[in-house]
Structure 1
């Protein structure tokens, strides 16, 4: 991967955006479905969730906004359209299914924004961009699940909406480390700054 990253840089990719002046933490879809044995979405993401908790804790300590996203579909409806047809496992996020619940240790606190979505990007068809703009937020420290799916889509759309996406590598996870690493490489080349947890904590400070 390092050779490919070097090649990207030689050809004019992977410039650094850097943080702006008003960061927030965006926690993408961290829920029971990814941590419950027997779930079709189960993935080895325990370390990523622990890092996301560290990130959220620091943001709260520093008075930085924290925004959570969740996926939710009404049973028997066309919510999610072709996305649900493409990924039948998304049935885990139907209303009433405990797989869609936030984790007890990593759940929205009183007053924190929760964005409910039906597609991969937290910006698609939601009020997220307007909410961030109203709060004066210009930088998103992005954590969550999964790196190749909703994290990638959200970080890409963040850039396209004029926000600086800092994807926190340690605080994101996927079904396979190869997917995780490949998508981080490509995000860093084209759409986001990929940073480690220590760097993200420094931004929040």
Structure 2
């Protein structure tokens, strides 16, 4: 454990130095602008289902119990008091046989072990009970990394009048990042909630949030997001 913490501290120190230099370059070239909050928000929780939030699964992520779940609970409380839109996104597959040419996994199974989220095993892809959906909140099943790819998410948000999405979940390197990138491409103001995004690999969250903040959305704290949700 001590060795792991030491390695993580080394990685974080190296990243901070890299961020300082990158910030100079980005600002000089006009990056790191602000997209800002809009008038109608939605909270998008990406893959905060048991296969990602509970231990013992290949997809299990770090900092779930002590940081991500408590942060999302605060966001949900603020959203529910104001009747803001909430979407819980999860991932599962009907055909997990890699030899079956009709699989809904596409070619993604060539890279990652997505066969471990079989649709028949609902306990795996069910949203974590600590942040369980309530009546009126959407539970959306996706097949690819982005919550927008091949789903009804964009149309649903537009019909609800949403102009701002607050994105939480896992992982920073894949599904959260892809959802944010597609979100701004679809015309939504994209906000990454800093303490509510996780991954499995040391340094992955810090690097991706820095890069997202430079090019695809604003990284904001839970406190800032809760204050915003209460104000609109």
Q: How would you bin the TM-score normalised by the shorter chain? A: over 0.9
- Where does structure 1 lack aligned partners over 5 or more consecutive residues? none
- Contact 1:49 1:172 survives alignment (8 Å): no
1:142 correspondence with 2:163: no
1:12 correspondence with 2:17: no
1:31 correspondence with 2:55: no
CA distance in 2, matches of 1:112, 1:58: 14
Secondary structure of the structure 1 residue equivalent to 2:55: coil
**Greater CA radius of gyration, 1 or 2?**
2
Structure 1 position 37, deviation (Å):
2.5
Larger displacement relative to structure 2 (53-62 or 71-80): 71-80
For these two proteins, the number of residue pairs brought into alignment is: 204
Structure 1 position 170, deviation (Å):
0.5
TM-score in terms of structure 2 length: 0.84
Matching residue of 1:40: 58
Structure 1 position 6, deviation (Å):
3.4
CA distance in 2, matches of 1:170, 1:142: 11
CA distance in 1, matches of 2:104, 2:50: 21
CA distance in 1, matches of 2:136, 2:87: 10
Secondary structure of the structure 2 residue equivalent to 1:111: coil
Out of 107, 111, 114, the position equivalent to 1:86 is 111
Q: After the TM superposition, which parts of structure 1 deviate over 6 Å for at least 4 consecutive aligned residues?
A: none
CA distance in 2, matches of 1:92, 1:199: 36
Secondary structure of the structure 2 residue equivalent to 1:147: coil
Matching residue of 1:58: 78
CA distance in 2, matches of 1:44, 1:7: 31
CA distance in 2, matches of 1:62, 1:176: 35
TM-score in terms of structure 1 length: 0.94
Matching residue of 1:193: 218
What is the CA RMSD across the aligned residues, in angstroms?
Answer: 1.3
